[in-house]
Amino acid sequence: MLTKQVRDGLATIVGEENVLDAPMDLVVYSYDATPDYQTLPDAVVKPRSTKDVANIIKLCNEFHIPLVPRGSGTNLCAGTTPLHSGIVMIFNHMNRILEIDEDNLTAVVQPGVITLDLIHAVEEKELFYPPDPSSMKISTIGGNINECSGGLRGLKYGVTKDYVTGLEFVLPNGEIVRTGGKLAKDVAGYDLTSLLVGSEGTLAVVTEATLKLLPKPEAKQTMLAMYSSLEAAGETVSSIIANKIIPATLEFLDQATIQAVEAFAGIGLPTEAGAVLLMEQDGPVEVVQRDMKKMKELCEAGGAFSVNVAASAAEGEALMQARRAALSALARLKPTTILEDATVPRSKIAEMVRAIVNIAEKNNVQICTFGHAGDGNLHPTCMTDVRNKEEMERVEKAFEEIFAKAIQLGGTITGEHGVGVMKSPYLAWKIGEEGVKAMAAVKQAFDPNNIMNPGKIFAKETRKRVMIQQ
């Protein structure tokens, strides 16, 4: 519960209509897309400007009230669940594309802009914003920046951090900082822009971003290769990369995922295949054709029983859209789907896929795997039921083993979803206690009162399992 003083203070800053605290409002901003996490905030606030944000944050800092910036609530690490209640800040009023600069190939946006709206707006000008998280139709740029979202094009084009060249953000003490800009190069001091991207709302509130754009690729082609076995598909991924081809997209789906996606999309996916690879290449026509031909040969040599190139752009888009629905489609199978995004060097994909199958068998849990195989970022997804406590423990154990295996292979506990609450106990596995300490010191410097999204990234306790290796 907020005190009357704080409640009135908020209303003075943003107006009564922009402070939501009826029981209904608290319920609908108590969750994100992470299963089994829900905490009611004390209020939901809609700032209209950077100045509003600064005033709100100052108020929170003064009274030590937790503040959780939230985009569209699609994140998968409980990053926007208000774990310690407090205030959820939403950006419905700060949702404008302020500028698309065709001379500098940049866009300036407010945090509440929907990712796909930005993509469409720049494509109208023959420009290209590559980060395309599967939730891009729903997610906001602000959310993408805070979580450093990836997507299907990460392999060739990188992730959100590779496209943020400047930020405006508000520190917990209310000071407004502007970093970077429309610059290809900028080494003026510490790279605060990069620090903020992926900081999961634990350091400051992002209020504006300058994004790098590319010229829109001239052509694009999509292809689907079907395999009987998981491993053969995994090995083809490594062989494509080893042959010096960097496709825009190189996705992997196992049989259970294919079946669930087909049940939703009904676009004729091969439900009999043990695994499929979904590939896309873009660029100049000649390059696209050459790479597609080469990849087709590599798939066939790698044991694909069928390789089909999409006949049209629409068919290609339907395949990509179906892939984006994979996680939610898997939710058809069981009441609860828990997904992770352990990532390994891409040469280790086949080994990781095999390990996941073994770990699932050993712990007697059902795990489907799909993901961005081309960049080593897999999404093992466990189909379970939160009501079955005994099974949930086995699920937890299986994921621990998956994280351990990923790290053993030189990988990480999370490739693109963030640490949030979900993976906070494992953070030290990846960066060591020293690394966590360094991060905590940064957090302390930015946010001495720990008001910014408390309870995220830093766990109360690290898992006491054996550290595999650094």
Partner 1 sequence: MTDNQTSRAAELTKQFQDRLDYDELLNCMRCGFCLPACPTYRETKGNEAASPRGRIAMMKAVVDGVYEPDEDFENQLSLCLGCRACEPACPSGVKYGHLLEEATDILQASKQPSALVRATRWFIFTHLFPKRRQMRRAAGLLWLYQKSGLQTLSRATRLTRLAGKQLSALERVLPKLPSPKWLNNRPTHLVPQGGATVKKKVAFFSGCMMDTIFVATNDATLFLLQRVGCEVFIPAGQSCCGALHAHSGEKVKAKELAKQNIAAFEKREIDWIVSNAGGCGAILTEYDDLLKEEPGWHERAQEFVKKVRDISEILLETGLPEMELPPQTVTYQDSCHLRNVMKTVAAPRKLIQAIKGVTFVEMNEADRCCGSAGTYNIVEQAMSMQILDEKMKNVKETKAATIVTANPGCLLQMKLGIEREGLTDSLCGTHIADLLAEAVKYRDEHSSSQVD
Rounded CA-CA distance 142/90 in Å is: 10
Per CB under 8 A, the segment of 53-61, 147-155, 319-327, 429-437 that binds partner 1 is 319-327
Q: Does 331 bind partner 1 (CB under 8 A)?
A: yes
Binding of partner 1 by 332 (CB under 8 A)? yes
The CA-to-CA distance between both ends of the chain, in Å, stands at 43
Among 263, 285, 440, 442, binds partner 1 (CB under 8 A): 263
**What phi, psi does 467 have (nearest 5°)?**
-70, 130
Q: What SS3 state is found at 245? A: coil
The answer to whether residue 1 forms part of the interface with partner 1 (CB under 8 A) is no
Beta-carbon count within 10 A of 386 CB: 14
145-171 in b/e burial notation, b at 16+ Cβ within 10 A?
Answer: bbbbbbbbbbbbbebbbebbbbbbbbb
Q: Which residue has the tokens 């590779």?
A: 162
- The residue among 237 and 261 lying less far from partner 1, judged by its C-beta, is 261
Among 84, 137, 216, 294, binds partner 1 (CB under 8 A): 137
Question: Would you tell me how many other CB atoms lie within 10 Å of the CB of residue 275?
Answer: 26
Single out the residue of 10, 33, 164, 275 in contact with partner 1 (rule: CB under 8 A). 33
Q: Which is nearer to partner 1, 35 or 47 (CB)?
A: 35
Is 267 one of the binding residues for partner 1 (CB under 8 A)? no
Question: Smallest distance, Å, CB 39 to partner 1?
Answer: 10
Q: How far apart are CA 69 and CA 202, in angstroms?
A: 9
Which member of 55, 61, 74, 249 binds partner 1 (CB under 8 A)?
74
Question: Pick from 30, 443, 460, 459: which is nearest to 202 by CA?
Answer: 443
Q: Which residues of 200-234 are buried (b: 16+ CB within 10 A; e: fewer)?
A: bbbbbbbbbbbbbbeeebeebbbbbbbbeebbbbb
Least spacing, CB of residue 297 vs partner 1, in Å: 33
Regarding 115 and contact with partner 1 (CB under 8 A), the answer is no
Question: Of the ranges 24-32, 199-207, 278-286, 407-415, which one interacts with partner 1 (CB under 8 A)?
Answer: 24-32
Rounded-to-integer distance, Cα 454 and Cα 456, Å: 6
- Please give the residues from 76 up to 105 whose contact with partner 1 meets the rule CB under 8 A: 90, 92, 95
Structure tokens at 374: 């081309």
Q: Which is nearer to partner 1, 30 or 179 (CB)?
A: 30
Determine, following the binding rule CB under 8 A, whether residue 318 of this chain makes contact with partner 1: no
Q: Among residues 226 and 329, whose Cβ is nearest to partner 1?
A: 329
388 or 449: CB nearest partner 1: 388
Judged by CB under 8 A, the stretch of 26-34, 240-248, 283-291, 363-371 that binds partner 1 is 26-34
Distance CA 257, CA 271 (A): 9
Rule CB under 8 A: choose which of 308, 328, 449, 462 binds partner 1.
328
Q: Write the binding mask 157 to 196 for partner 1: x where contact by CB under 8 A, - elsewhere.
A: ----------------------------------------
* 30 near partner 1, rule: CB under 8 A: yes
- Coil, helix or strand for 59? helix
User: How many helices (H) does the chain have, and how many strands (E)?
Assistant: 15, 18
Which position among 50, 104, 336, 366 is part of the footprint of partner 1 (CB under 8 A)?
336
Best CA proximity match to 320, nearest among 178, 224, 450, 185: 224
With beta carbons less than 8 A apart as the criterion, state whether 207 and 53 touch: yes
- Minimum Å gap between C-beta 25 and partner 1 is 6
Binding piece for partner 1, criterion CB under 8 A, among 233-241, 260-268, 391-399, 441-449: 260-268
The residue from 113, 277, 329, 367 that contacts partner 1 (CB under 8 A) is 329
Q: What is the dihedral of CA 78, 79, 85, 89, to 10 degrees?
A: -130
Residue 273: burial class (beta carbons within 10 Å; 0-12, 13-18, 19+) = buried
Q: Which long-range contacts link 311-316 to residues 24+ away (Cβ below 8 Å)?
A: 313/220, 315/222, 316/220, 316/221, 316/222, 316/280
Stretch that binds partner 1, among 130-138, 209-217, 302-310, 403-411 (CB under 8 A): 130-138
Q: Decide: 417 and 76 in contact? Cβ < 8 Å.
A: yes
Q: Report, in Å, the least distance between residue 72 CB and partner 1.
A: 6
**Pick from 40, 195, 431, 459: which binds partner 1 (CB under 8 A)?**
40
Site string for partner 1, 220-259 (x = CB under 8 A): ----------------------------------------
Q: Which residues bind to partner 1, rule: CB under 8 A?
A: 22-25, 27-35, 38, 40, 72-74, 90, 92, 95, 114, 135, 137-138, 261, 263-264, 325-329, 331-332, 335-337, 385-386
